[in-house]
Structure 1
Amino acid sequence: MEAATEFRGAAVAAWRWLAGPERWTRRRTAGEAVLALLMAVLAAGTEEIIGGDGWRPAAVAASAMVLSLLRRRFPATVLVVTGALAPVLPGYVVLLMLVGWSAGRHISDAGRALAALAGAYVLYMATTLLDAWDWQGALRLAFVSTIYFLATTVVPGLARRYWAQRRTLLHALQDRNRRLLRERSMVALQARLRERQRIAQDMHDSLGHQLALISVHTGALEVDPELTDRQREVVGVLRNASVTAMHELREVVGILRDGTEAPVDAGTGGAGAPDESRRGTAGIEALVEAGRAAGNTVALKRTGDGPPLMAAAGHAAYRIVQEALTNAYKHAPGAAIEVELRYEPDAFVVEVVNAAPARPAGEVISGGQGLTGLHERARLVGGMVHAGPVDGGGFRVAGVLPYGGGGESLPQAAPLVDAADDFRQQSTTLPRSHSEPVMDWRSDPWADLSRTERELTMALRENRTRSRGSGVALGCGIAAAAVVLLVLAVGFGAFFLVRAVGNSMIDPAEYDAISVGASEQEVRDRLPSGDSVAMSGLRGKGPKEPEGSRCLVLMSSDVPEDITVETEPVFRFCFKDGKLIEKKAYDVRR
């Protein structure tokens, strides 16, 4: 068991070492294994088709698999080794393309990449010329080999290098844009904080002073012996209202200054002040009691039972009731008011309905922003508010708010408001890398972008999409150019090979028609020159040439019926002193 565990650990360590600095996922690991196996199969199959026998196909397959796995860890070394062995091992044809493509990505330094390509080319040419050396055909062979190496190794490597550098540049630009947007959000946040602190200081200095005076004077008036019990009760309500207003002012000032609510001191203010300052569903009953104490007819009705509201949603419910009651007091004095809290299966509903006013309202001072603020507050928590007249001359304000788990963060459920109707409050995700979490206004305060910043972000998204499309088009253009170059190289090589083969083949009848003793010039005029790459591997083989003679070796134009035959029929003509002194027909092993 311990041995198996150690072996597994060693295998994992070896595989991570092969991956290098990159961490391979399971998909990448499986892909690399399948690709290495494919290279081995192609190498063995190519060697088998060309005529390799014995252990050679298996050895070439194993070496191709190893080189395929090492190409990421040692890209330059694998490129040089593959380039040196490709001319003598035909099974490395596909592997050479793969290694060139991979080297363009994994050799980071441009000078090192150029040196690796140059070294691979030099070794490739040296091995090619040494394997099929012929002084007369060396230039043609070098030219064809150069075209082949450029098409199969250099072009894929350059294309992959351009693609990798472009992706790196795009990622760098995206990171820079993300940092600029974040820095801009930080600057805007600092400006907002400074402005909020200024507003908080003004509110504290002005409203705080006035509320303190109201509280002091109502407290002194409450103990005046000349007041009746009813007047003393009304003055007590005014004093409690001023104390509550001071508590709420302190909370608002705290939120404006540092974004947190000020703690409520249980012993501060008059009776009931701490409960009334709790801005949640628990404080709605205190609002109703305060309205009743002021002489208004206010009824409270609770229906159903459900999970607790989030702190923000409870705060919104409290503000909806508070604003609706305030509007009813101002616009419908003396009218009966009904407050209903309903716990529906999917949402919490708060509804405030007042009847038609019993007497006309006097001059009312109104800022006109109360209901608008309720709409915005409900939207921020994923709810909605409806306000409008009802049959009989009354008015109705209703809010629908989502439930929550009781935490301070908003739920991840879909909001009750359609996204198309709440564009300004929707979160905007900044461009990010695949490893960063999604940022929105619920989890990242810097993602609370203004309209201008949202438009900028959307423009960056469109620009990134366009650049991605243009990058794909440019990459496709480079790939198409590489394919065209490869096709041209293959076409040129095929044409050159056909022409070279035509210059090195004769019909057997032509061989029989030539007699020994004929003039060398006459014989050479009847025969092709034999100066081609196709003959480079046939010279120097067969019977010993006559002493002091010059021989011309040509192939037979007859195609054998059995293509598996490993021998090639050739004809040899040897000349000396201007005459044909010998002609021989024999078979040469390929």
Structure 2
Amino acid sequence: MKEAARRRWRVTFAVALWVVLCLLVVVDTTSGPDHRTLELVYGLASVTVAVATARRWPAVSFAVTVATSPVVSLGWTAKVAVWEFFLMVVLGYLAGLRMPRVRAAAVICSVTALAGIPPAVFLPEGFDAWGTMLGVLAFAGVAPFLLGRYVRLRKELAQAGWRRAEEMESRYRLVARETRLRERARIASDMHDSLGHELSLIAVRAAALEVAAGLGDEQRGAAGQLRSGAAQATERLREIIGVLREDAAPVEPVQGDVAELVDRARASGIGIEARLETLADAPPMVARAVYRVAQEGLTNAAKHAPGAAVTVTVTSSAETTEVLVCNAAPPAGPLPGRSGRQGLIGLRERVRLVGGTLRAAPADGGFEVVARLPHAAAPAPEPGDDEVVGQAARERALARRDVRRSLVQAIVVPLVLFGVILGATGVGFLVQWSESELPDSAYARIEPGQPREAFAALLPSRQRSSLPLINEPPRPRGTTCEYYGTERSWLNLNKAAHRLCFAGDRLVTKDSYSEDEP
């Protein structure tokens, strides 16, 4: 019921988001004197694809969203569309919430930024458009993505804290139950000591009656039955209490062979490379521990890394035996869900009882279980509560570090990108300023009425994109004008330009104007 309600809410949110963004596209592209039909179609298509893939394929949604920045900025003369800005902010934030890794987002943004370089080189106002694109990409795409990632990590930290609290509560209940069972066993042991003593006394007295003088055969027979029954009751009581005692001899498990275990695992489809040495010098407890380590390692590999190659190595000497079970990274990636780790906990206890050490941790994309088992060693001390608390503290510290790092990234990365964009834009501006300068001496040699071929060698390779905002002379009708820079420094805030207007291939007029003087 809750899942159905959650699904309805997700669908409703996606539809509402799609409607709002589509309305922004329509309003932004149809308002004003010019109706931008191509931008309208592109915007509606981008919104539809980005919203439709936002939940299941967030990387695709983020790529489609980020791609609107170069298309709009370079395709429509360095403009920033309202719909593009809101689309990148909303979908970038959602991508940060849903994408588990930053690498894909970094690749998408890098490819988008690099893809804008060729148009920036060849378009007349390409560098201005590229700078606009980078600014929109940094503040409307990267910053919301990092903010969404920070929110996701904080949520995961909170959920991990609640899971840890639930685990600790469950562990406390188990400890309380174990304490009660131990107390019951202790009471039963006390009952055995007292009741067994009384039964033994009854048996002794019955034996005395059995040989006492003055009793008939019938009474002696009854005394013998009483003695036999008391002895049997004492033996049965000893057997029952022996099961409850913690120091009672455990039931011996069936001894398994590691080679047979590997053969059975191979028969089930696991690819195993095994190097097994004989365990002739190993004590029975060590041999059983080796079998359990191999069994648990193969079980974990089959459960959490299906299809991965597995290596099982057993080496034994006169003093120690070592066993290694290592699996490579699963071909389809790690399976979802958390491991219960109950098998490893039991395995760690078994290794501890023979005085050995166990290490179970990720290695080279996979997982490995390594046990070192001495042949003659006392059991290692039991792990205390400090080790459990220390593990929880380490996990909490790692989670908090990731959250702090994501917060720093959400603040620092946009600022660094802003600095990089500002520097790149400044370099591009200076290059464009230098390559679009028409010296005054060359400008003086150009005369109206000349064909373009007569002075084409004097013209710069690029036109000036940063032009005076005022004092431009009226443009002759039916002409196409080109704008070049003067020798005025770029530090002068009053911009100036040389304007050449052509009718076909012939120069009609030439004008010089600036913001401080017509």
User: Which TM-score band (shorter chain)?
Assistant: 0.3 to 0.5
The alignment's TM-score, normalised by the length of structure 1, stands at 0.35
The alignment's TM-score, normalised by the length of structure 2, stands at 0.38
Larger RCO, structures 1/2 (Cα 8 Å, 6+ apart): 2
